[in-house]
């Protein structure tokens, strides 16, 4: 028996007593009984008032039940912000000593590496100097690692201040060492008008087709108020005060008369352009019709604008009252950016007329898709010497039966007579054999870092993620390398699997560029654990993934223009498939996504090498041994560096193309920039070719790289 | 650091909230203490609306209601008590509703229809309940306060119990 069952007879008895006492005031002659009843109501009133106050104080947050926001790109972090947050969250007590030491270790490693690089000393000596505190003039920075500021297992105050000082000191030391001022320009500081604005972000955690009814709590406490007033009225013996309690009762009952109506809506959505160019404006017109037979006194709608699209005019959110059969229409304009953006749902919140209850729903709608394919351009890079055995057009360090002269070498028994260099014989009297270049076909796999850790931005107002920059760079590379005659494949390093085997030809180029445009692995929303975990064991894709019903065509098919698509996957390994639409999917045999589901790739506690092995567990098996690899990554964490090293260690010629997506306006952001530069240096030392550039922060621009 | 800039738009509910609060002040003007509390409530309400603080608006409603109780315990009349009490609750209701609208939609969106519907609903409840209270108070025999108390108590309990 619950509380309601206990209260119901109480209410019925009280009502009966009230009616009886109203009709016959002298029904209860006993004074003690009257006093007892009054005292009881008084106690209940006070308790009700207490409950009302408590409910208000511990009530739900303002964000609960809010209409979600839309029309702004996800709030990507700037590298270093995670460290700043961790530092701000850490306390001064001994309980947080472990976390403080983790942060301290990270800064210590950076300080040592920068000092060793700048002074040209080994890291052991640099470590001694950092520990001794004579690496910087800033006392706070030095105190983080030395003297009384060093490791504690008790209370440590001023930690955040020392971290900021140390981060700034490390960055200053690094900048002084390379004699390069920070290249980062804050658009707002430069007086440039920055599109978009910082807005509060509210999300509705419902899938299409789901709805949720909840009480808003706006009338919470009104019953307690009524009882309290009644109690006061009895205490002071004022009938009018008792009467005022009727207010609370009336509105308490009003708040419980109806539930928020379930919306039966017909939704039509029209987009003005389905294949815009980047930066082009697309008007979206949304019509919502009440197809039910009940009045919707308060219906609030928010169109689910796909991640990446920013509303530049109008609003996707609206509030109105809809009678049956009536239609409300809104329109707004978005700025197109790379991607295939599907408008396929609508967030709706309805309220009853008292606004005491609300029904939150996400309605599936007919899909309207906007596909924005950038020009990508063409960009070629100098590759390594690794090549296939096939003749081709790429000059490699191989000699053979080509037509271009390569070099001379001493004549050996068996060399064809026609290869003798008679001019050399005439000059020197020695036999020599002419060698000719033998152009080969080079196979290149372009990999894009699409992990959650790569969804960082240099400008948290423009919000262009590094994944977009890397994707645009990959597109330019794909076009450039194919133009040079290479066989080019494409893959994503991240939890959302994408792999297109190497090939060439016009159709293959289209397939690659279409994949870069529309595959979810390169989308604007970072992967989350749900994306991976939600996949069924048989590999079903997430909702916004490639169409799982798409007809699967095995690789090793000749393309229409005569180009070759080569099957790279080893027998028995996860099978790669390419859908009719050209987007790559992994079929049922591929159970491993190649990465753990955790989006927290910034976690410095995880071993980067192990993480890299996990990341490459899947895609590494697809890479042919003779493939060169171009890895596009912002190098936002050590795991990205480890991926480059792992690929290099497996015998591939590796080129890391790294856009600089770091900020420079806070100490922690500057430190993150330094750490990235140190990663680049480390890769170079390991023999990995590295190209870096500073990309434009405008999401409608191309990769903007110049190698 | 980014700064959240939010534009304001004067909505129907803002005006109705202030009007309801002023009605309460007019009703409690007969008592000095109640008048002071009433003006305090109006001040809190306006501040809450400008600062977009639901807590302040709710507190303003409590303040206005407190002013009404003070007057009802002293020189207040039956009509003044009812007007003051319902005005206080309506002021908080309209005020918090306006803030909810502000929170959910852009200033450019016209929401008068939704606000008017909500206001009509609340006003209807206030008029009906006020009329019922007035009739009850006038019709019951003198000395039957205990019965009224029991009825109020029963209504409060049943309202809580009979809906999920």
pLDDT in tens, A174-188: 887 554 444 444 444
Q: What is each CA distance from B50 to A417, B19, B93, B96, B108, in whole angstroms?
A: 97, 16, 16, 12, 18
More confidently predicted of A564 and A356: A356
Provide, as residue numbers in chain A, all residues whose Cβ is less than 8 Å from the Cβ of B128.
250
pLDDT bucket at A37, cuts 50 / 70 / 90: low
For B45-54, what is the mean pLDDT?
Answer: 91
Q: State the Cα–Cα distance between residues A662 and A675, nearest whole angstrom.
A: 10
More confidently predicted of A505 and B159: A505
Average model confidence (pLDDT) across chain A: 77
* Least-confidence region, from A169-178, A456-465, B82-91: A169-178
Q: State the Cα–Cα distance between residues A80 and A59, nearest whole angstrom.
A: 35
Where are the domains positioned within chain B? 12-161
For A111, the token pair is 């300080």
pLDDT in tens, A396-421: 666 666 667 778 888 888 888 888 88
* Least-confidence region, from A183-187, A272-276, A489-493, B94-98: A183-187
Residue A442 has pLDDT above 60, yes or no: yes
Residue A89 lies in a domain: yes
Q: Does A41 touch chain B (CB under 8 A)?
A: yes
Residue A267 has pLDDT above 90, yes or no: yes
Res A185: pLDDT: 44
Task: Say if residue A146 is in the same domain as residue A266.
Answer: no
Residue linked to tokens 């955690």: A205
Q: State the Cα–Cα distance between residues A387 and A75, nearest whole angstrom.
A: 42
Res A471: pLDDT: 93
For A216-220, what is the mean pLDDT?
Answer: 77
**B28 touches B72 (CB < 8 A):** no
pLDDT bucket at A281, cuts 50 / 70 / 90: very high
Q: State the Cα–Cα distance between residues A237 and A224, nearest whole angstrom.
A: 19
Q: Does B104 touch chain A (CB under 8 A)?
A: yes
pLDDT in tens, A52-77: 655 554 444 444 567 888 888 888 98
pLDDT bucket at A482, cuts 50 / 70 / 90: confident
Averaging pLDDT over each range in A253-257, A461-465, A589-593, which range is the top one?
A461-465
| Cβ within 8 Å of A, B 22-51 | none
Res A49: pLDDT: 62
Q: In this predicted complex, what is the ipTM?
A: 0.86
B13, B155, B164: which to substitute to probe chain A, counting the most A Cβ within 10 Å?
A: B155
A689-693 and A654-659 as β-strands: parallel, antiparallel, unpaired?
Answer: parallel
Q: Is the dihedral of CA A448, A452, A454, A459 positive or negative?
A: positive
Task: Say if residue A655 is in the same domain as residue A563.
Answer: yes
More confidently predicted of A589 and A663: A663
Considering chain A, what percentage of its residues have pLDDT values greater than 90? 27
| Cβ within 8 Å of A, B 118-147 | 118, 121-122, 125-126, 128-130, 132-133, 136-137, 140-147
More confidently predicted of A572 and B125: B125
Q: State the Cα–Cα distance between residues A213 and B164, nearest whole angstrom.
A: 12
Task: Say if residue A333 is in the same domain as residue A450.
Answer: no
Nearest Cβ partner of A256 from B108, B150, B159?
Answer: B159
Q: State the Cα–Cα distance between residues A86 and B70, nearest whole angstrom.
A: 52
Task: Say if residue A348 is in the same domain as residue A423.
Answer: no
Q: What is the pTM of this model?
A: 0.74
Q: Using the beta-carbon criterion (under 8 Å), do B148 and A243 form an inter-chain contact? A: yes
Q: What angle do CA A481, A641, A705 make, to 5 degrees?
A: 40
More confidently predicted of A430 and A394: A430
* Least-confidence region, from A155-159, A322-326, B10-14, B148-152: B148-152
| Cβ within 8 Å of A, B 57-76 | 58, 62, 65, 68-69, 72-73, 76
Q: State the Cα–Cα distance between residues B95 and B52, nearest whole angstrom.
A: 9
3-state SS string for B103-139: HHCCCCCCCHHHHHHHHHHHHHHHHHHHHHHHHHHHH
Q: State the Cα–Cα distance between residues B66 and B89, nearest whole angstrom.
A: 11
pLDDT in tens, A225-266: 777 777 777 667 777 887 888 788 888 888 878 888 988 999
Res B145: pLDDT: 60
Q: First and final CA of chain A: distance in angstroms?
A: 75
Averaging pLDDT over each range in A516-530, A592-606, B120-134, which range is the top one?
B120-134
Q: Residue B85: CA atoms inside 13 Å, Cβ hemisphere, count?
A: 37
Q: State the Cα–Cα distance between residues A246 and A229, nearest whole angstrom.
A: 9
Task: Say if residue A498 is in the same domain as residue A611.
Answer: yes
Q: What is each CA distance from A48 to A222, A223, B84, B156, in whole angstroms?
A: 9, 7, 22, 10
State the total domains in chain A. 4
Range of the domain at A409: 397-438
Q: State the Cα–Cα distance between residues B152 and A48, nearest whole angstrom.
A: 13
For A185, the token pair is 């320009």
Res A568: pLDDT: 35
Task: Say if residue A458 is in the same domain as residue A582.
Answer: yes
Task: Say if residue A434 is in the same domain as residue A449.
Answer: no
For A101-119, what is the mean pLDDT?
Answer: 89
Dihedral pair phi/psi, residue A160, rounded to 5°: -60, -40
* Least-confidence region, from A351-355, A673-677, B154-158: B154-158
Q: Does A20 touch chain B (CB under 8 A)?
A: yes
Task: Say if residue A459 is in the same domain as residue A573.
Answer: yes
For A194-222, what is the mean pLDDT?
Answer: 73
Nearest Cβ partner of B156 from A252, A257, A319?
Answer: A252
| Cβ within 8 Å of B, A 299-358 | 300, 315, 317-321, 349, 353-355
pLDDT bucket at A663, cuts 50 / 70 / 90: confident
Task: Say if residue A97 is in the same domain as residue A157.
Answer: yes
Continuous segment of H or E residues that includes residue A9: helix A3-23
Burial of A557 (0-12, 13-18, 19+ CB in 10 A): middle
Res B150: pLDDT: 63
Nearest Cβ partner of B156 from A23, A223, A234?
Answer: A223
More confidently predicted of A196 and A439: A439
Nearest to B67 by CA among B85, B83, B79: B85
Nearest to A473 by CA among A692, A702, A690: A702
pLDDT bucket at A598, cuts 50 / 70 / 90: very low
Residue A78 has pLDDT above 80, yes or no: yes
For A291-306, what is the mean pLDDT?
Answer: 92
Residue B139 has pLDDT above 80, yes or no: no
Q: What angle do CA A636, A379, A518 make, to 5 degrees?
A: 65
| Cβ within 8 Å of B, A 59-118 | 62, 66-67
**A66 touches A650 (CB < 8 A):** no
Q: Is A687 helix (H, G, I), strand (E, B) or coil?
A: coil
Residue A38 has pLDDT above 80, yes or no: no
Considering chain A, what percentage of its residues have pLDDT values greater than 70? 71
pLDDT bucket at A11, cuts 50 / 70 / 90: low
Res B98: pLDDT: 92
pLDDT bucket at A651, cuts 50 / 70 / 90: confident
Q: Is A494 left (phi over 0), alpha (psi -120 to 50) or beta?
A: left
Task: Say if residue A506 is in the same domain as residue A402.
Answer: no
- The C-alpha R_g of chain A, in whole angstroms, comes to 34
Provide, as residue numbers in chain B, all residues whose Cβ is less than 8 Å from the Cβ of A26.
143
Domain boundary among A149, A178, A207: A178
More confidently predicted of A142 and A392: A142
Nearest Cβ partner of A319 from B69, B104, B142?
Answer: B104
Res A205: pLDDT: 80
A281-290 and A265-271 as β-strands: parallel, antiparallel, unpaired?
Answer: antiparallel
Residue A571 lies in a domain: yes
Q: Is A346 helix (H, G, I), strand (E, B) or coil?
A: strand
Q: State the Cα–Cα distance between residues A224 and A98, nearest whole angstrom.
A: 47
DSSP assigned state of A68: P
Res A40: pLDDT: 66
Task: Say if residue A431 is in the same domain as residue A466.
Answer: no
Task: Say if residue A334 is in the same domain as residue A480.
Answer: no
Q: What angle do CA A274, A276, A278 make, to 5 degrees?
A: 145
Res A641: pLDDT: 92
């Amino acid at each position: 028996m619950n509380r309601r069952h206990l209260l119901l007879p109480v209410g019925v008895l009280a009502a009966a007593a009230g009616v009886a006492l109203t009709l016959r005031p002298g029904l209860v002659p006993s004074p003690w009984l009257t006093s007892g009843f009054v005292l009881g109501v008084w106690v209940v009133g006070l308790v009700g008032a207490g409950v009302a106050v408590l409910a208000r104080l511990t009530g739900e947050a303002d964000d609960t039940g809010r209409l979600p926001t839309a029309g702004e790109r996800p709030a990507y972090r700037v590298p270093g912000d995670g460290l700043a947050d961790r530092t701000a969250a850490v306390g001064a007590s001994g309980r947080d000593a472990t976390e403080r030491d983790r942060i301290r270790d990270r800064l210590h490693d950076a300080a040592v590496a920068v000092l060793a690089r700048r002074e040209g000393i080994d890291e052991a000596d640099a470590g001694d100097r950092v520990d001794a505190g004579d690496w910087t003039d800033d006392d706070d920075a030095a105190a983080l690692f030395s003297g009384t500021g060093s490791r504690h297992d008790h209370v440590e105050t001023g930690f955040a201040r020392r971290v900021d000082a140390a981060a700034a000191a490390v960055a200053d030391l690094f900048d002084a060492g390379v004699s390069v001022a920070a290249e980062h320009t804050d658009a707002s500081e430069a007086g440039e008008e920055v599109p978009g604005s910082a807005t509060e972000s509210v999300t509705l955690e419902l899938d299409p087709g789901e709805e949720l009814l909840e009480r808003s709590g706006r009338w919470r406490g009104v019953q307690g108020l009524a009882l309290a007033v009644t109690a006061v009225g009895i205490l002071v013996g004022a009938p009018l005060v008792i009467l005022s309690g009727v207010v609370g009762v009336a509105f308490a009952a009003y708040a419980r008369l109806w539930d928020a109506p379930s919306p039966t809506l017909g939704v039509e959505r029209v987009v003005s352009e389905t294949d815009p160019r980047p930066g082009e404006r697309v008007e979206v017109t949304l019509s919502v019709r009440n197809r039910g037979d009940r009045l919707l006194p308060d219906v609030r709608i928010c169109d689910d604008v796909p991640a990446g699209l920013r509303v530049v005019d109008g609003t996707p959110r609206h509030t109105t009252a809809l009678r049956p059969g009536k239609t409300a229409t809104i329109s707004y304009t978005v700025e197109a950016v790379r991607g295939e953006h599907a408008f396929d749902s609508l967030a709706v919140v309805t309220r009853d007329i008292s606004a005491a209850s609300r029904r939150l729903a996400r309605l599936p709608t007919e899909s309207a898709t906007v596909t924005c394919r950038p020009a990508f351009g063409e960009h070629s890079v100098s590759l390594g010497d690794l090549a296939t055995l096939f003749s081709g057009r790429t000059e490699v360090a191989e000699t053979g039966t080509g037509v271009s002269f390569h070099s001379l070498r001493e004549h050996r028994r068996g060399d064809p007579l026609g290869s003798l260099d008679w001019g050399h014989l005439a000059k020197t009297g020695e036999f020599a054999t002419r060698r000719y270049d033998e152009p080969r076909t080079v196979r290149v796999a372009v990999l894009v870092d699409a992990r959650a850790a790569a969804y960082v931005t240099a400008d948290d107002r423009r919000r262009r993620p590094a994944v977009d920059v890397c994707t645009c760079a990959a597109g330019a590379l794909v076009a450039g390398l194919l133009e040079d005659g290479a066989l080019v494949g494409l893959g994503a390093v991240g939890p959302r699997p994408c792999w297109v085997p190497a090939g060439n030809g016009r159709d293959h180029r289209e397939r690659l560029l279409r994949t870069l445009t529309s595959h979810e692995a390169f989308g604007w929303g970072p992967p989350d654990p749900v994306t991976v975990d939600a996949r069924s064991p048989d590999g079903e894709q997430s909702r916004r993934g490639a169409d799982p019903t798409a007809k699967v065509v095995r690789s090793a098919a000749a393309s229409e223009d005569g180009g070759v698509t080569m099957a790279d996957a080893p027998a028995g390994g996860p099978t790669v498939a390419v859908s009719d639409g050209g987007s790559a999917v992994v079929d049922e045999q591929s159970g491993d996504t190649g990465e753990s589901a955790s989006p927290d790739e910034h976690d410095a506690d995880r071993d980067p090498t192990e993480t890299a092995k996990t990341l490459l567990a899947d895609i590494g098996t697809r890479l042919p041994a003779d493939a060169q690899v171009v890895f596009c990554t912002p190098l936002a964490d050590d795991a990205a560096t480890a991926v480059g090293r792992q690929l290099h260690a497996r015998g591939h010629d590796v080129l890391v193309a790294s856009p600089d997506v770091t900020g420079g306006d806070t100490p922690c952001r500057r430190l993150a920039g330094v750490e990235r530069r140190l990663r680049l240096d480390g890769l170079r030392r390991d023999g990995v070719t590295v190209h870096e550039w500073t990309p434009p922060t405008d999401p409608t621009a191309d990769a903007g790289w110049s190698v | 650091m980014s700064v959240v800039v939010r534009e304001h738009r004067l909505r129907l509910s803002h005006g109705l909230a202030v009007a309801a609060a002023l009605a309460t002040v007019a009703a409690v003007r007969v008592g000095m203490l109640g008048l002071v509390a009433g003006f305090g409530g109006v001040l809190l309400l306006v501040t809450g609306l400008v600062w977009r603080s639901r807590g302040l608006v709710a507190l303003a409603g409590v303040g206005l209601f407190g002013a009404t109780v003070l007057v009802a315990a002293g020189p207040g009349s039956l009509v003044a008590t009812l007007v003051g009490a319902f005005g206080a609750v309506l002021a908080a209701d309209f005020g918090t509703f306006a803030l909810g609208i502000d929170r959910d939609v852009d200033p450019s969106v016209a929401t008068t229809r939704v606000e008017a519907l909500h206001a009509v609903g609340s006003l209807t409840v206030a008029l009906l309940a006020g009329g019922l209270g007035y009739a009850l108070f006038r019709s019951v025999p003198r000395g039957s306060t205990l019965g009224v108390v029991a009825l109020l108590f029963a209504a409060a309990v049943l309202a809580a119990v009979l809906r999920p």
